Chain A
Amino acid sequence: MNEFDFEGYTCPVPIRPTETVILGHGSGGTLSRDLLRRLFLPDLGTAAPRSLDDSAVVEMNGARFALTTDSHVVSPLFFPGGDIGRLAICGTVNDLAMVGARPIALTCGFVLEEGLPFETLQRVVASMQDAAKEAGVYIAAGDTKVVQKGGADKLFINTSGMGAIADGVNISGANAKEGDVVIASGTIGDHGIAVLSAREDLGFETALESDVAPLNHLIEAMLAAGEIHVLRDPTRGGLATSLVEISEQSNVTIEIEEEKLPYKPAVKAACEMLGFDPLFVANEGKLVAFVKGDDAEMVLSAMKRAKYGEDAAIIGRVIGTGKSQVRLKTAIGGTRLVDMLPGEMLPRIC
């Protein structure tokens, strides 16, 4: 064989900043963060403090309220364990609850594509009603728009919500402290793999169900049991992205332990097969809590007694301040970084 001269090899030019929005901007990872920081916050983030928590906290006449909004564009509309309607209600309820607020009322806006069967809409609305009842919130206002065929993918829902924050409750991604214990409320990645499986018809032998659920009652039980510093529901971008966000907001080093992370075997198997990291997979009925070290066991016990907290587990702790980093102790005793998802999560080639 000839000897190869490897000198002078060059690689392609950098990707230029995209001229258009790409799907990765909605992944909840670093592209989403860049969009927020470079475009939305400079132009729109004026009135409320830029806490970048799941809800904004606004004060009025000495009382504190939580305010949030969320849009839902999931495909397919119905998936094992849930549907877009339940997702819309639970997502907004959870965003309110993650700053320690008691959800009071929601609004919902529908964007309907011409040709959507009434039966589909009816099922979605009934599901929303059930979820609102379970969460104990009411839907106070709404709006409907219909777009031409092709102008939307069947049905989009926006929900906004308002909640009240009790005196003494102070929860934010910026409040993590050294010594805090990190608790996950249950198995990770169920929603993302269930939806992917339904959307792509992957035909897994084990039926996976989404975990979509309202977590406000679970959080009430946690607040009664101990001092909670941070709450976050790891939706798009998964647990990894939430932990990285919290480490940056609080400027702390978080260490989690691979062996303590709760996964359903079917989720773990699906991720192995597809080349996904379950830490990046979306959840819709799970939370991660940073709890004062001394209170951790009490909070964990309260969670295990509550609905949607039965599989709660301590997964790590805050080990230092002054450096925002998330580290993972691997099951075999190594250590590596955990980072945000850069763009869309993509199945590997081989």
Chain B
Amino acid sequence: MKYLDEYRNPEKVKALLREIASITTQNWVIMEICGGQTHAFLHHGLDAMLPPQIELVHGPGCPVCVTPLEQIDKAIAIASRPDVIFTSYGDMLRVPGSTQDLFSVRAKGGDVRVVYSPLDAVGLAEANPDKEVVFFAIGFETTAPANAMAVLQAKNKNIKNFSVITSHVRVPPAMEAILGSKSNRVQAFLAAGHVCAVMGFHEYPSIAEKYHVPIVVTGFEPIDLLNGMVSAIKQLEAGESIAENQYQRAVKFGGNESAQNTIRSVFQSVDRKWRGIGVIPQSGWGLSPDFADFDAEIKFDVGDILTQESPLCIAGEILQGLKKPTGCPAFGKECTPQTPLGAPMVSAEGACAAYYKYHREVTHE
């Protein structure tokens, strides 16, 4: 398949692995920030092919994993209303709230639907004027432009029965939170290529310099990931720390300005709580006051939702790369994709789900 097969070429993979082995002289801890990259490493069995000195740790870049429990409980409360058609991307439906998930709401009669685009939700609102259509607008910089566009479209069409629950988060503040933590172990980052395709990587040089950490913008195919690893390890071995772009076919320094303008026309920067990490200042986007009419939390008055947390899950440590999923006592026992203790085991992009799916008992000869 064009644009894929050439980045999965086994000979090139082997050559890059040889290069990595030859340039690695000591132990390094490298975080791939994005859940899609975690899955790619494990899906291709690539993690086990790296030299033992390289420790991959998995970052908080899973939009489902870091959506706070409060937002999920609010979504469940709204989705349970008889006058609401609740729409979401598929992954969100299985994430446990305090007492149930959105699939359970649907099983009890709630009108909960999977959509492939937020614009589909706007279309549903037009087609169902007697219902309130709510879209769960979560995700990183990748989903924000389309979600912003949906709100803009609803406003331009004067659609009154459409609203969104927003829980958008931004990657750079999370990287700084991890690097600034007293328990940080991350020595280099593979930055998420698709996030940078939207936002560029102009924020990264100053982070690399401030924390003395190499940051390499990386794609999602095996050769992309290995090229990113080579760049990161070369920098680590040389004691350098700059922001590099190994995903030049998709990423420009300044990113996609049109998409950024769309985001800024609807959202404003806000403090945002990350599940597993806590509140990170200015790390998210919320609807700007001009679009308050489209804020489902205001429309349905769900501000006093109470959440219930459990002490069993170490998702926070997983999301910061402090522990691997297999280092969790509950992994594969109490916590499985059927009975997830936390979001990283639920989401298709969650690190725990990736380990459970691809890596649970494989012994590598």
Interface residues of A (CB under 8 A from B): 1-6, 9-16, 18-24, 30-31, 34, 200, 202, 265, 268-269, 272, 274-275, 325, 327-337, 339, 342-344, 346-350
Contact = CB atoms under 8 A, between A and B. Distances in A.
Given A22-B106, A329-B45, A343-B94, 10 more contacts: A2-B180, A12-B309, A13-B96, A14-B310, A330-B43, A332-B45, A332-B49, A336-B43, A342-B338, A349-B63
Contacts of B64: 349
A13 B89 contact: no
B47 to A, nearest CB: 8
Interface bin, chain B? 35 or more
B320 interface: yes
B281 interface: yes
Contacts of B72: 12
A334 B176 contact: no
A233 to B, nearest CB: 24
B301 interface: no
Contact of A335 (B94, B314, B322, B364): B364
Contacts of B89: 346-349
A1 B63 CA distance: 23
Interface string B285-303: 0000000000000000000
Contacts of A30: 337-338
Contacts of A269: 1
B142 interface: yes
B101 interface: yes
A31 to B, nearest CB: 7
B358 A3 contact: no
Contacts of A202: 116
Contacts, number: 214
Nearest to B344: A11
Contact of B320 (A3, A6, A15, A331): A6
B98 A13 contact: yes
Given A14-B96, A337-B359, A337-B360, A332 B8 contact: yes
A9 B276 contact: yes
B45 A334 contact: yes
B73 to A, nearest CB: 9
A14 B90 CA distance: 20
17 contacts: A12-B343, A13-B99, A14-B339, A18-B104, A20-B108, A34-B338, A272-B1, A330-B43, A332-B9, A333-B14, A336-B42, A343-B338, A344-B90, A346-B91, A347-B89, A349-B92, A350-B139
A18 B104 CA distance: 7
In order of increasing CB-CB distance, the 4 nearest A-B pairs are: A334-B45, A346-B90, A9-B316, A11-B313
Contacts of A329: 45
A265 B5 CA distance: 11
B358 A336 contact: yes
A335 B313 contact: no
Given A4-B181, A14-B334, A15-B101, A339 B349 contact: no
A332 B362 contact: no
Interface string B54-82: 00000000011000010010000000000
Interface in B161-189: 173, 176-177, 180-183
Nearest to A277: B43
Interface string B108-131: 100000101000000000000000
B182 to A, nearest CB: 6
B342 interface: yes
